[in-house]
Structure 1
Amino acid sequence: MEKIQTVLGDIKPQDLGITLTHEHFSLNFDKFFCAPPESLAKYFNDGVNEKLHLKNAGFIRQYPYGSKYNINYEDEDTHKAVMNDVKIFKEFGGSSIVENTTCGINQNLKLMYEISKETGVNVIAGTGYYLGMTQKSDVLDISVEKMVDSYTQEIVEGIDVKISPSETVKVKCGMIGEIGSAYPISEFEKRAIIAAGETQSALKCGVTFHPGRDSPNSPFEVMRIYLEAGGNASKCIMSHLDRTILDDDKLLEFSDLGGYCQYDFFGLECSHFQMNHKIDMPSDAQRIGKLNLLKEHGKLNRILMSHDIHTKHRLVEFGGHGFSHIINNIVPKMKTRGFTQDEIDTILIKNPADWLKF
């Protein structure tokens, strides 16, 4: 029987419900700090440690990686806010969330287990390696074979997670990813992609990739390496296309490769992208336009949506849109742009289940 593996155990694909396929509950993003412009530094309390409040909210929305408190997404303040946000997601009809944090940015399986247990939301964890720049030196030399062993063990056998001083549970990952790469792709990152292809071929599980920010060619190169390693295109997500492939013709060319085209920055309405100043980050309305383009070219079953929340300012507790933004704000907008309820259900329910089941 086909199944989907959550942190609490297996569920049937038809029980997945409305699903966000790319989110984070906890991670270490310290290496991505970007100082704000010097002229604005005083609004960040000498640049770094001021908590979020109304007087600095606008500045942090513009320069989110310029606040060290904002990018500290693994402290108690964050964990409480994420728990509350997932409860709100559940209140508005959300059912499942795929948590994409992998090795290099501090995966927290205990928190995933606790959130799923308390909220009733299905949580699917990923196995794998993030960008090479985030890894410790002893990790960078790991072979493809050892990566495959690691991916396989964490999916098939699971990981021992201590949830209390007296209780340890076995938590299984339900997919591979997000596997991170820069552009050009480093040797370590290439091995992680190859291992994902080999493991996917054996286990038939889903895989999700984070392509480099600096070239629209990055998704094509990641897909080439993955396919040559034996990976199935129909079980592969290319994340962050919002900031990676901006040209319509190139987007359609990529969609012809057969993978899922994921728009996962919904809720980001700031055109300035601190990670790459050359990119004009699209608005939510423009994202919906890209989804419509894919739909009109027969790729409805290749579309996925999410928010990729990984900083405090995007959580409801800190004045953000939260995990329920797509349900509450984007779905109604999609209907005004010609999407039917059946088409929306395909994107938010059917496609995630097809990707995750194995």
Structure 2
Amino acid sequence: MYVQTIFGKMKPEELKLTYIHEHLYSDPPQFVKDQDSDLVLDDVLCSIREAQKFKQAGGSTIVDMTAIDYGRNIEIIRKIAKAADINVIATTGFNKGLFFDKWVYEASEKELMEWMISEVTQGIEGTDSRAGIIKVGSGYNNISSVEEKVIRAASKAHLKTGAPIGAHTEAGTMGLEQLEIMEEEGVDLNKVIIAHADRNLDVWYFKEIAKKGAYVEFDCPSKIKYYPDEMRVNAIIALVKAGYEDRIVISGDMARKSYLEAYGGGPGFKFIIKKFIPRLKIQFEEVGLDPNIVDKFNIENPQRVLVFK
């Protein structure tokens, strides 16, 4: 059993504290940049400084979920990882259909599957850095035909490689529907992470995801424009009380300059470690829960789901 970083295989326990969904460098499609330049993270020195802040705060591993359709650059990711002395896991696969290149629409399911398998087993963009997770995604309240094709291709690639799957959900929608497609393909749902779940703060929905064996990803701590953190904390507590402490992962998905200290924004990569995790522990104690459970969300649970089987 191992996890696959950009510099090779590691034992799961070597990952230590992990953010399971971040973006160290991103160069999205031109129409996205034209609409919102805040989404462009292309200053390598700033990205290195932010990753160093993560390391200094006690972090060890970042799963970089920037897919090829959002400007993934493996050489730059390698440079950031080395400079900051952190472990990085890279992704193959795709984001949501809005970002797909023409070739994704034209490719067959088999061709997409083979491309993903090659990035997991051989390397990304001519390097020996292999992907350690497969990404899929869908739009708001809908899974288009091309998105379904990608999900099925990724599911087959998972079955061939044992790689975990990270699923983008738009505003937290369609997570269960994505899981239904994967289930039809025979995916081990214990290896699937439903991202951005807390954009849709619905505890029943979270329980249904966890009941299937998949992981509920809370990646909006500090993003008060969506919901106050109190609501996230209460949802996490409800999930733990329902018996799903092993199906919760926490990250920041801080894919904007305005979220990152090194780019002039905030609260930065250190927020979860320095502010959100301590708050969770305090509020767990207040309701009679063991605060040590909180450590699972960024240590034990990521190590379990990121393992290749």
TM tier relative to shorter chain: over 0.9
Distance 1:212 1:70 in 2: 19
Instruction: Please list every run of 5 or more consecutive structure 1 residues that lacks an aligned counterpart in the other structure.
Output: 34-47, 49-65, 162-168, 271-280
Query: What SS does structure 2 have at the residue aligned with 1:140?
Result: helix
Aligned to 2:206: 251
- Over 4 Å off, 4+ runs: none
Query: What SS does structure 1 have at the residue aligned with 2:105?
Result: coil
- Contact 1:307–1:323, Cα closer than 8 Å, also in 2: yes
Deviation at residue 341 of structure 1 after TM alignment: 4.8
Distance 1:116 1:144 in 2: 32
Aligned to 1:10: 9
Match of 2:40 among 66, 72, 84: 72
Distance 2:179 2:4 in 1: 24
CA deviation vs aligned residue, 1:200-224 (integer Å, no higher than 9, x gap): 12222211001233x74x1111110
- Contact 1:103–1:135, Cα closer than 8 Å, also in 2: no
Bigger radius of gyration? 1
Matches within 5 A, 1:54-73: 68-73=36-41
Aligned to 1:233: 189
More helix by share: 2
Taking only the aligned residue pairs, the percentage that are identical comes to: 28
Aligned residues: 301
Matches within 5 A, 1:1-358: 2-29=1-28, 30-32=30-32, 68-74=36-42, 76=43, 79-161=44-126, 169-177=127-135, 179-182=136-139, 183-213=141-171, 216=173, 218-244=174-200, 246-270=201-225, 281-317=226-262, 318-338=264-284, 340-358=290-308
Distance 1:227 1:69 in 2: 37
TM-score by length of 2: 0.92
Distance 1:199 1:136 in 2: 20
Aligned to 1:39: none
CA deviation vs aligned residue, 1:8-38 (integer Å, no higher than 9, x gap): 11111110100000000122345446xxxxx
TM-score by length of 1: 0.80
- Contact 2:203–2:239, Cα closer than 8 Å, also in 1: no
Instruction: Please list every run of 5 or more consecutive structure 2 residues that lacks an aligned counterpart in the other structure.
Output: none
Deviation at residue 73 of structure 1 after TM alignment: 2.3
- Contact 1:147–1:192, Cα closer than 8 Å, also in 2: yes
- Root-mean-square deviation (CA), in Å? 1.7
- Contact 1:8–1:116, Cα closer than 8 Å, also in 2: no
Matched AA of 1:192: V
Distance 1:191 1:344 in 2: 36
